[in-house]
Structure 1
Amino acid sequence: MKTLSNARVSELFEHYFAVAPVAVVKAPGRVNLIGEHTDYNGGFVLPAAINYHTYIAFAPRADRSLRLVAYNFDNELVTVDLDVDQVDDRNASWANYVRGVVQEMRTQGFALAGGDLYIAGDLHSGAGLSSSASLEMALIRALTALSGEQVDPTQAALMGQAAENNFVGCNCGIMDQLISARGQEHAALLIDCQELTARAVPVPADWEILIVHSGVKRGLVDSEYNQRRQQCEQAAAYFGQTSLRGVALEQLLAAEGQLDELSFRRARHVLTENQRTLAAANALAEGNLAGLIKVMAESHASMRDDFNITVSAIDTLVNILADAGEGKAGARMTGGGFGGCVVAMAPATVIPQLVAAVELYYQAKTGCEPTLIRAKASAGAFA
C-alpha cells in the first residue's frame, strides 16, 4: 500500500471538497511484540506504535452534521447527524467505527461540532495492525479539534475501546487504542492493562521490526475472538475472580483436572503469556536478543497449542523466519489470530535474509502471497 502524508491527504480533501482543510491529524497503527489476548484479561502487553497511519483532513461546517469520505473505500460518503442516537449501518462497516465513536463521545458529554472529514490510511485493513483503533484515535483528535474541546489520551483510548465493545460488537481490550494514543518514538510500551499504566521500553538502535502479512485476512468481529474472551472469563470465575489477572499460575496448575480442559488451556496461555511479556520487556531493555527470541518462540507455541488461534500458513511463516534468522531473529504471530501478521525482531543486518527467505519459500509452501512491512516504533496520536 502506498505511503501517505499530511500533505497528500490535504490535497485529497481539497480535490473532493473544493476548499482547503483547516488541519490534518493522524494516528498510528501498532504491532504487538508480545502479550496476546492478555489485555482484556487485565494483563501485560508490549506493543509499539508504527509508522503507518490513519489520516484525517477536516474543515468546519455550519450545521450539526459530519460528512465523512473514505479514500480507502472508493471515496464512499457517509453523513452523521450529531444530535441523534447512532444506528448500526451494516452497509458501511467502516462507518460503524465512526458512529460508535460519536455515540461514546456524546455519552461522555462532548458537545462536538459539524465538519467535513476526509479519511485516508496506509495501514493494511484486516492485517492485525489495528487500523480500527487508528481510525478511532484519529477521529477523536479531529472531532475535538473541530469543537475546541480537550481530551486526555487515556480517555480517548477508553472511548475508542467502548465504541468497539458497545457499538461495533467486538469485545477487544484496551491495548490497541492505548498504544495508538500514547505510543513513543523508538520505543515499545509495556502496558499494564488493569492499571492502564505504561512504561517506555527503548528498542535498541540497531534492531528493526519486520512485519509480514500472511495473506490470510482476519476479521475479529466474525471470528472466534469473542468466544476466547468468554472462555477466559469462565476460567477466572472458577477461581472467584472477575479476570485472570487475579489468578496465580500456581493456582491454575493446581486445578488441572478440576477445571474443564479447554478453559484450563486458555487460562494457561494467558498467565504464562503475562510472564513472557514481562521477560520480553526486560530483554528488550537490556538488548538481550537471545532472551527475546526465546519468549517470542514460546509465545507462538502457546498461541498455537493452548489458545488455538494460529493457522497453518502463519505457523509456516514463523518457522521460515526463525530458520532464516539462524538464532538472531525472534518471530511470532501478532494480533488477535486466525490469520493476519507475523512480527519478527532482529538486528538490522539480519532483516535482509529474513525478507529473502519469505520471498523464496512462503508462497511456494502455502499458496498465500505475503506482504513485507518494515516498521519503526513511532509516536502516538496524542504524543
Structure 2
Amino acid sequence: MSDTQDTHRATFRDLFGLDATVTAAAPGRVNLIGEHTDYNDGFVLPTAIPQKTTVLLARRDGTRVRAHATNLGKDGEYILGGEARTGTWVDYIAGVTQELARDGHVLSGFDVTVASDVPLGSGLSSSAALLVALVRGLRELYSLDIDDVTVATLARRAENGLVGANVGIMDQMACSLASEGEALFLDCRDLSFERVKLPAGADLVVLHSGVEHQHAGGDYNTRRAECEKACELLDVNALRDLTEADLERVNALPEPLNRRARHVITENARVLKAVEAMRAGDLERLGELFFASHASMRDDYAVSVPEVDLIVELAREHPEIFGARLTGGGFGGSVVMLARLGTGRRVGELIAEAYGTRTGREPKLLTPSA
C-alpha cells in the first residue's frame, strides 16, 4: 500500500473512529477530440489518465451520511432522503444517493472520504471521476446490481440533477470505461463504444493552464441552450442529425447560433477522421485535426481563453508536436498535445516554462504516456 493510501486510511480512521471497508477509484480523462458533441448526441474520443479519485467508505447505522474531502479539508453531512442542493462539493455525494434511491436501491447511512490527484477545474473530469468512484464504492458497499454503463449514466444524472451542471455523457462514460493506452470511441446517442489503440509513435502530453473552470457555471449551460435553439430553427432533434453537407443551412442561422452549430457538426466529422488517422497511424493527420478542433472551439464555440490559446500556439512552434487543442468544456482548463514518441516530457516542460514566464501562472504538466 502506498504512503498516500496509508494517509487516506488513517484520515478516515481519525475522522470516523473505524476502518473503511470499501475502497473504490476512477480515473480522470483527457478527451483527444470531440468537444461539446456529447450532449448533441455526437461522437467523442476520450482516454483515461493515470490521475484518479479514490473514495473510502464504511456503513453506519441510521440514515446519516458523513463525508470529508481531503483535498479541500472540508466536511459535510446530510440525511438520506433529505438530499437538497447546497452549492457545495457535498452535492456530488447527495446527488448520487438521490439517484440510487430513485432507481429503487435501498441504502443505509455511511461515512466516506474522498481524495484525488485529478486537478480541480482542469478539464480532466475531476467531477466525473468523483461521481464514478462513489457509485463504484456504493455498488460494492451495498452489493448493488449495476453494470459499468449504468454507473456512468447514474453519475451523469447526479451531475445534471442535484449538482446542476447540464453536462453530456462523455465524462462519466470515459471515467467508467476508458483505459490508458487506448481511446474510447463513443457514440453518445446509443452509448455504443469501441476501444481504439493510441498511436504507437506518439506521447500524449496534458498541460493544465492554471485557469480553473466550473461546469456548473452559466457559460457551459448557455452553450447547450444555444445548441437546442439551433436545433429548433433547423427542425432537427439533435445537431448529430446534420453533416457537413448541411453547413449552408447552418451558416444562415443568426449569430451566434450559426457558429455554435457549425462547431458541433465539423467536430463530429473530425472525430470520425481522427479514428481513421489513429487506425492508420497517421500522426501528421491526427495533429492537423487537433489544431483544427482548437480553432473551432476558439472561434465558433467561443469556449477558449487567451491562456489556453497561448499554450496551443507555443505547441505549434515545436517541431516535435504534431497537434494541440483545448480539452474539456473550456473557459480555462487544459491542453492536450500529441508529441513525437520519447519527446513528450521534455517538450512539455519547455512549453510549460515558456507559458509560465509569459503569464505568471503556474501550469501543471501531466504526461500520461511520456
Describe the shift of the 1:256–1:328 C-alpha distance in structure 2 as closer, same or farther (beyond 3 A).
closer
Is 2:269 aligned against 1:272?
A: no
Match of 1:12 in 2: 11
The gaps in structure 1 that reach 5 residues or longer are 378-383
Q: Is the 8 A contact 1:9 1:24 kept in 2?
A: no
SS of the equivalent of 1:69 reads strand
Match of 1:338 in 2: 331
Q: Deviations over 1:209-262 (max 9, x none)?
A: 2111111111122241111111111111122112101123222324533x2131
Aligned runs of 1:282-293 on 2, under 5 Å? Answer: 282-293=276-287
Deviation at 1:8, TM superposition (A): 4.3
Q: Distance in 2 between matches of 1:248 and 1:345?
A: 27
Aligned runs of 1:7-46 on 2, under 5 Å? Answer: 7-46=6-45
Q: Distance in 2 between matches of 1:100 and 1:151?
A: 17
Q: Distance in 2 between matches of 1:353 and 1:185?
A: 21
Q: Distance in 2 between matches of 1:328 and 1:360?
A: 16
Match of 1:89 in 2: 86
Q: Distance in 1 between matches of 2:43 and 2:214?
A: 23
TM-score, with structure 2 as normaliser = 0.95
Q: Deviations over 1:139-169 (max 9, x none)?
A: 1111122212121111111111111112111
Describe the shift of the 1:241–1:9 C-alpha distance in structure 2 as closer, same or farther (beyond 3 A).
same
Which of 75, 78, 83 does residue 76 from structure 2 map onto?
78
Q: Is the 8 A contact 2:209 2:364 kept in 1?
A: yes
Superposed CA RMSD in Å reads: 1.8
Deviation at 1:63, TM superposition (A): 2.1
Describe the shift of the 1:11–1:285 C-alpha distance in structure 2 as closer, same or farther (beyond 3 A).
farther
- The alignment of Structure 1 onto Structure 2 pairs a total of residues equal to 369
Query: Partner amino acid for 2:78?
Result: V
Is 2:278 aligned against 1:281?
A: no
Q: Is the 8 A contact 1:51 1:375 kept in 2?
A: yes
SS of the equivalent of 1:252 reads helix
Is 2:355 aligned against 1:362?
A: yes
Q: Distance in 2 between matches of 1:171 and 1:221?
A: 7
Query: Partner amino acid for 2:364?
Result: T
Q: Distance in 1 between matches of 2:4 and 2:276?
A: 34
Q: Distance in 1 between matches of 2:273 and 2:6?
A: 41
SS of the equivalent of 1:166 reads helix
Match of 1:381 in 2: none
Deviation at 1:22, TM superposition (A): 1.4
Q: Deviations over 1:116-142 (max 9, x none)?
A: 211111111111111111111111111
Q: Distance in 2 between matches of 1:68 and 1:365?
A: 40
Match of 1:104 in 2: 99
Match of 2:299 in 1: 305
Q: Distance in 2 between matches of 1:48 and 1:24?
A: 23
Q: Is the 8 A contact 2:30 2:336 kept in 1?
A: yes
Q: Distance in 2 between matches of 1:282 and 1:9?
A: 43
Which of 140, 165, 175 does residue 180 from structure 1 map onto?
175
Q: Deviations over 1:12-58 (max 9, x none)?
A: 32343333221211011111011010000000000011111110112
The gaps in structure 2 that reach 5 residues or longer are none
Match of 1:127 in 2: 122
Which of 309, 327, 332 does residue 315 from structure 1 map onto?
309
Describe the shift of the 1:359–1:376 C-alpha distance in structure 2 as closer, same or farther (beyond 3 A).
closer
| Deviates most, 158-167 or 269-278 | 158-167
TM-score, with structure 1 as normaliser = 0.91
Misfit runs of 4+, over 6 Å? none
| Deviates most, 140-149 or 268-277 | 140-149
Q: Is the 8 A contact 2:199 2:283 kept in 1?
A: no
SS of the equivalent of 1:32 reads strand
Match of 2:194 in 1: 199
Q: Is the 8 A contact 2:77 2:90 kept in 1?
A: no
SS of the equivalent of 2:132 reads helix
Deviation at 1:188, TM superposition (A): 0.8
SS of the equivalent of 1:224 reads helix
Describe the shift of the 1:30–1:4 C-alpha distance in structure 2 as closer, same or farther (beyond 3 A).
farther
